[in-house]
Each structure stands twice: as C-alpha cells, then as structure tokens.
Amino acid sequence: MKSSNLGYPRIGKDREWKKALESFWAGKLEESAFLAQMEQIRQQHLIKQKDKGIEWIPVNDFTYYDHMLDMAVMFGLVPKRFAYDGGPVPLDTYFAMARGNKEAVASEMTKWFNTNYHYIVPEFGERPPVLAENRPLKAYLEARDQLGIVGKPVIVGPYTFVKLAKGYAKDEFERVVDQIVPLYVDVLRELELHGVEWVQIDEPAFVQDISEQDRALIRRVYEQFSQALPHLKLMVQTYFEAVDWYEELIALPVEGLGLDFVHGGKANLANLTAHGFPQEKVLGAGIVDGRNIWRSALEEKWELVKTISNVVDPDRIWLQPSSSLLHVPVTVEAETDLPGEVQAALAFADEKLGEVQLLVQGFRFGKYVISKEIAQNEKDLLRLAESPARNREKVQQARKALETTEAKRDVPFHERRDIQQAAWKLPLLPTTTIGSFPQTTEVRQARQQYKKGNWTVEQYDAFIAEQIKQWIAIQEEIGLDVLVHGEFERTDMVEYFGEKLDGFVFTKNGWVQSYGSRCVKPPVIYGDVQFVAPMTVKESVYAKSLTEKPVKGMLTGPATILNWSFVRDDVSRQEVCEQIALALQAEVEALEAAGIRMIQVDEPALREGLPLKQADRAAYLDWAVKSFRVATSTVAASTQIHTHMCYCEFHDFIDVISELDADVISIETSRSHGELVSVFETCTYDKGIGLGVYDIHSPRVPAVAEIEEMVSRGVQVLPPAQFWINPDCGLKTRGRAETVEALKNMVAATHAVRDRL
Ligand code: GLN
Ligand code: ZN
C-alpha cells in the first residue's frame, strides 16, 4: 500500500502566496522576486509532503492563480482581446485573463463543482488550441532535479476540461474534445519521454450525470491515450461524488483509477464490492475527507480500507485524501484558542496527510504500530461528541418537530399582497437597496480599534449609530422608498451571525482559497445551533427611529450560512440547516415584535448547495427551501418578507424561488440585459421582483437613461405593480460618492418610468 496526495493548498501557512501575488500586482515586487518567492513556496510544499512520508506527491497542482487557467494557457487558449502571439503565455497576459486589464475584461469565473473554489472558464473558439508550453513537465523536472522528488504530474483531463470550458455549441462538444486530445497526447508523450511514471489525470466531471454518448467518447479518448503512450501510467482521478457508470469506468484502458470513498463513498464502495476491481489496475482510494476540517475516525477508516483490500490487493492501493486539499486550510498549528474538544478534533491539510500516512503504516506493519494513535483519536472524537454543545436537547427536539410541520405562512400570497399594499401604501416601482452601504476605511478602522480593545463597546456602538444616522439622511435625500440601516456592524454576512449564535467557532488561521488571491475563513459549525439573543434588532430599530419611511431588516438565510461554513459531519446538513432556520425564526420574530415589519432574508448561496447529480437535487431543495420558510413563515400577513439572490439564473430557478414564498425577491438583472425580457415573457411568477438594475461590481455610475431603459423593458412584459427597483447586490465594496450618484440616477430613472405609467 502506498500513500498519495491529489493536490496541496497553494496559499501557504501564513497566506504568503496571497501576499506575494498581491504585492506583485501592486507593483511592490519585481517579477524576478515574485517568481523566486513562488518557487520557494512551491518547493516548501513539496518538501513538507515528502517529510510527511507521502509517496506519490502531486506536482503541477501549484499555480499562480488557478489550475484551469493554467490548462488554458498551456493550450494557448488566450481570448483574442488579450495580446498574445504564440509560445509560452507571458505572465502579464496570464494575469490579465484572470483579472482583466485596461483594454480587456477578465475571463469568466465560476464555481468548481459544488465547492466554494472558483476557476477561470477556458474559452474555445477564439484561437485554435496549440501546445504553448508543457507546464506539468516543468513542474516535474523542477521537483526531480532540485529536490530529488519524483512527483506525479497532475492535469485536468480532456473530458472535464472541455465540459467546463465555453465558446462552443452543445453539439460541438465531441468535436472540441477531438481537437484537444492530440495536444494532450503531445503533453503526455513529453512526460513519458522524460521518464515520468504516473500522471494523475483529474476527471471530476465523470461523477456528474453522463450520457451514453459521452461514455463512448470517454472510452475513445482514453483508448487513444493508451495507444499513443505505451509506457506512461495514467491515474484517472474522480472525486466529489460516486461514478454511476462504474463497470465501464474500470474497463477504461488506463493503469489506475481514483475513487472518492467519502463523498459518494457508499455508492462507490457498493460498486467496488459488487463488481470487483481489475487485477492489473491501481486503485486510488480517497478515504480521508479532502473537503472538511474534521479528524477522521481512524477505526472506521481502518475498517473501510480493510473492506477495500478484500477486493483489491493492498499492493495496488494508494491511500489518499478524497480530493485535492485545496479546499481545506493548511495546518491546525495556530489554532490554540478554540474550545479543547474542538481543537483536538480538527484536521487541516497537513494533519489529513498525517492520517493517510498513519493508516498506510498500520497496513504495512500491522495495526499495533498505530494502536496508540487510534485510541487517542477515539478519545478525542468522543469528547467532541459528548460536548454539551452537541447535545442541546431542546434544539434537537425543536428540529425534530419540523418533520411534521409544513412551515407555511397562514395567508396565501395574493391575499398578503393586498394586505401589505394597504399597510405600506408604497408607490409603483418602489426603490430600495440590498442592505449594505460602503464599508469605508473609516468603518473598517473603527472595527479594528474595537477588536483590538482600543475602543470600548460604547465607543464602537456610538460610531455605528452615527454611520446609520448619516446614511438614513442620505437615503432620504436620495428619495429611496424603503430604507436600510446599512450593515456597518458586519464584516461578513455569515460571520456576523455565527459570532452571535451558539454552535459556531472561529479559527485564527483557517483560510481557504476562494478565487485567485482571495481567501475566505469560513466559520465552523461544531455544535447544535441556538439563538441566544437578538442579533440585528438594535440597529434596525435605531434606523427606524430616524425616519418616517419604512426600514427593512436584514438577515442572512439558513442555506447561505450553511453553505459558507465548515459544517460538523456527525449529523446531516439538513439537520444543521434546520437548526439555523429555527434560530433565525427567533430573530425574525424579534424584529417583528420590535416593529420592523419588512424583513429581508438573503439567500445568495442557496443555489451553491445544489448536489452534483440531478437525482439528488430535489431532496436538497426540499429542505433548503423549507428552512427558508421555517425562518420566515411565522410572521403576520402584513409583515413583508424579502429575499435576495445574486446570480440566480432566474429562468431555471423560478419554481424554487416561488416555493420560498417570499413576498419580494431581488435579483441580478443588470448583467443579463438581453435575457431580461425573454425571461419574464414566459414567467409565471406573480410575487414581487426587485430588478437589480445596475451592476455594483463596477465603480461605473450608470446613466439615468440606461436604467430607465431597463426598467421600461421590465414593465412591458410583467405588470408594473410586481416590480421593485434596486441595485443588483449590496454596496459594501463601493465608494461613497459613486454610490450616492448611482442611487440618485436609479431614483430619477424610476420616477421617469413611473410618470409614464
Ligand atoms: N445584504 C447583503 C449586502 O447587502 C447581501 C450580500 C450578498 O448578496 N452577497 O451586503
Ligand atoms: Zn447579492
């Protein structure tokens, strides 16, 4: 049995990778110094894995931005709007593709499967693919010649690469794969010539719903590889779910297959035991969860590996994490301030590799060599299981009771609409915002002062109150119809609630890469989630006291809190989500009782939690949507519930949105201009729609005419009474002056349309 890794986090223990990148972009670091720092980080990571005893260490998993972008530039897939005339893609072109530059907008970025990592979408059809540079070979030679590490180059396989790319019509998929395969052969042949033994070829798209035609294509592609590369061994690596076409997969003419025995583990194991595994192939067995932050239950893993090795000869098993460790932080070393039972149960990338190695040792030399570690592990996990935070009877009972509750509002929407209109008397096309106002340096500094202890609570509260007051005045002056308090007290829409609810902890250094140099530090949900005290009432009530206009309360929804956190794995995600929903229900009720009768519950990440397989989606949506309703359905008919989703692809999500039963949903429409009308034309949605009429991601101030045009288009297809007018997301990253100007234009445009109606 061998130990293996699929990919190591790039960001570095102290995010030195991020810092180097950002200094370089800011012009504070010369290119040569930047490259030297990157090399050092890359090599440190390899040495670390070697020191941990990992035998098959991945190379070429390191990147300056994103591994899909690396693949695209390897194949010279540089869109025409960027300067490029063949050969290795220069660094500034590479970063321009990732981030845009003065002349050209960046390439599109989107989520990597069901993770919170975002990749740059390769664009076909702009330039024909060529082999511009053999990047995996470079990585392999560096590790071998400088460190004496014989690595396993990692590349994204052709099926997955083309599936995730754009720039071709659906029916051209096969043609594009056929076009790129010879280039893969060239890359792989060079690796073979340089004596590479194994290549890890990542095909996570294999776990999605795959047509018969696609399976034939995959078979054809891998046959081509096998014929062209007689000596090179390919480990076709799948992860994030089980493969539905197991028998065909294991018949592919490759030397190794990697399966995820954690996510989709049950189905993969069932297939393995039912259909066996080819005698001559190596099994990459993903047994340590590459996506969560908890220690493995070693005894259970031991049993799992034993079951696997009843089918596959241990000589031909590589034990490995279930996926790349890119999705977890680097090491728990810095986590010294957490409750003891949590601290002892955490495992980040380094600790996970330790677990892999430990299990390999046990199988190699006998279980007794790791019996001490297994015993300690059992103790640690038991301590967490017995923690009072995981045993809140009341929360668990309330959650259980939801099984027999419908969680529906008493009064149906069409009746609520009239009741609410009578209560609020809003004009046609009411104007509002999504919640946050600019978090200026001043606001961020104030929070720092408070966190460092330089400011007292009173000082900080007074500062926040002053911000609210200023912005209520500004909103009145702009002439908005429904005001917000501005979210100045929140750094982050999930962290803020996590800090105030029971069941969460926050790590000191638990950063993971989200996209490019951007890292996030997700909260950790480790216990039963419980409402403690009102979290947003004070700020909303204060804002309301300053104006005659309605003030909308502002919360983050249960699915978003769940999907943007690291979640305990001893109970189902559904249970955790429903616990959060109950806690939010208490907050919604507290707001209502305090006189806040318009409440927005944001769910920008509801869609992100969608399972990879179509068949699993309905079940997820069922409980995620119900959770939203649990949080929002106990209010009076006159209380208006809003929700917000950015990038929600309204057209294929209408049924789900409708099920939420929110009175108003605000959505992004500004970047999908052309589609707007067609989306609404076929729309059966009768609840309120907040048109996100301008893009908050850009500092550009939209002209009145531009917004007017968009609003007019909307009211031509649906009854005007259905629409609200707002920016497409929160304004927290924008500057003050541009925000005021843009909102003034938005209001002027709305008035112009209103006057014509
Ligand atoms: N209310 C949040 C804000 O305005 C919503 C943010 C989001 O959708 N990502 O910042
Ligand atoms: Zn948003």
Place of tokens 């609404």: 680
Mean pLDDT of 345-361: 98
pLDDT for position 677: 66
pLDDT for position 103: 87
pLDDT for position 87: 94
Give 75-116 as a DSSP string.
TT---TTS---SSSPPHHHHHHHHH--SSSPPPPEEE-TTSS
* Alpha-helical regions (H) of 404-485: 413-424, 441-452, 457-478
- pLDDT tens for each residue of 616-643: 999 999 999 999 999 999 999 999 999 9
Query: Helices 573-593 and 614-632 sit at what angle, rounded to 10 degrees?
Result: 30
The neighbouring-strand residues paired with 156 are 202
How much of the chain exceeds pLDDT 70, in percent?
Answer: 99
* Confidence check: pLDDT of 674 > 80: no
* Confidence check: pLDDT of 675 > 70: no
* Confidence check: pLDDT of 190 > 90: yes
pLDDT for position 673: 54
**Residues of the chain by 3-state class (helix, strand, coil), percent to 5:** 50, 15, 35
* Confidence check: pLDDT of 578 > 90: yes
Identify the three-state secondary structure at position 602.
strand
How would residue 342 be classed by pLDDT, with cut points 50, 70 and 90?
very high
Residues whose CB falls within 8 Å of the CB of residue 64, separated by 6 or more in sequence, listed in order? 21, 38, 91, 94, 95
How much of the chain exceeds pLDDT 90, in percent?
Answer: 92
Question: Does residue 155 contact residue 235 with C-beta atoms inside 8 Å?
Answer: no
**Structure tokens belonging to residue 185:** 């052969």
From the CA of 493, how far away is ligand 1's center (Å)?
7
Mean pLDDT of 333-359: 98
From the CA of 102, how far away is ligand 2's center (Å)?
26
* Nearest protein Cα to ligand 1, atom 8: 604
Of 674 and 251, the one with more pLDDT: 251
436 lines ligand 1 (CB under 6 A): yes
Question: Does residue 294 contact residue 568 with C-beta atoms inside 8 Å?
Answer: yes
Neighbours of ion ligand 2 (CB under 5 A): 604, 646, 729
pLDDT for position 105: 85
643 lines ligand 1 (CB under 6 A): no
Pocket test for ligand 1, best of 436, 482, 514, 535 (most atoms within 8 A of CB): 436
Pocket test for ligand 1, best of 601, 729, 731 (most atoms within 8 A of CB): 729
Place of tokens 């794995």: 569
Separation CA 622–CA 556 (nearest Å):
19
Find, among 590, 591, 603, 588, the residue nearest to 558 by Cα: 603
| ipTM of the complex, rounded to two decimals | 0.99
Task: Please give the order of strands across the beta sheet that includes 566-567.
Answer: 502-505, 524-530, 566-567
Pocket test for ligand 1, best of 485, 551, 644 (most atoms within 8 A of CB): 644
Question: Does residue 360 contact residue 285 with C-beta atoms inside 8 Å?
Answer: no
Question: Does residue 528 contact residue 502 with C-beta atoms inside 8 Å?
Answer: yes
Q: CA 476, 482, 487, 492 torsion: positive or negative?
A: negative
Question: Does residue 181 contact residue 221 with C-beta atoms inside 8 Å?
Answer: yes
Residues whose CB falls within 8 Å of the CB of residue 722, separated by 6 or more in sequence, listed in order? 686, 687, 688, 689
pLDDT for position 650: 74
**Residue type present at position 57:** I
- pLDDT tens for each residue of 676-719: 667 777 778 899 999 999 888 888 899 999 999 999 988 988 99
Find, among 695, 747, 292, the residue nearest to 549 by Cα: 747
**Residue type present at position 663:** D
Q: Is 435 left (phi over 0), alpha (psi -120 to 50) or beta?
A: left
Among the options 45, 263, 327, 697, which is catalytic? 697
* Confidence check: pLDDT of 333 > 60: yes
552 lines ligand 1 (CB under 6 A): no
Mean pLDDT of 233-251: 98
How would residue 300 be classed by pLDDT, with cut points 50, 70 and 90?
very high
- pLDDT tens for each residue of 58-73: 999 999 999 999 999 9
* Confidence check: pLDDT of 671 > 80: no
**Structure tokens belonging to residue 43:** 């090599």
The neighbouring-strand residues paired with 177 are none
pLDDT for position 697: 81
Place of tokens 């396989």: 157
Question: Does residue 191 contact residue 151 with C-beta atoms inside 8 Å?
Answer: no
Separation CA 705–CA 410 (nearest Å):
42
pLDDT for position 629: 98
Mean pLDDT of 166-195: 97
Residue 25 belongs to what H/E stretch? helix 16-25
From the CA of 600, how far away is ligand 1's center (Å)?
10
Q: CA angle 33-38-43, nearest 5°?
A: 125
From the CA of 554, how far away is ligand 1's center (Å)?
9
Active site residue 67: no
**Looking at the chain, how many residues does it have?**
757
Binding residues for L-homocysteine: 434-436, 487, 602
Question: In whole numbers, what is the pLDDT of the chain averaged over residues?
Answer: 96
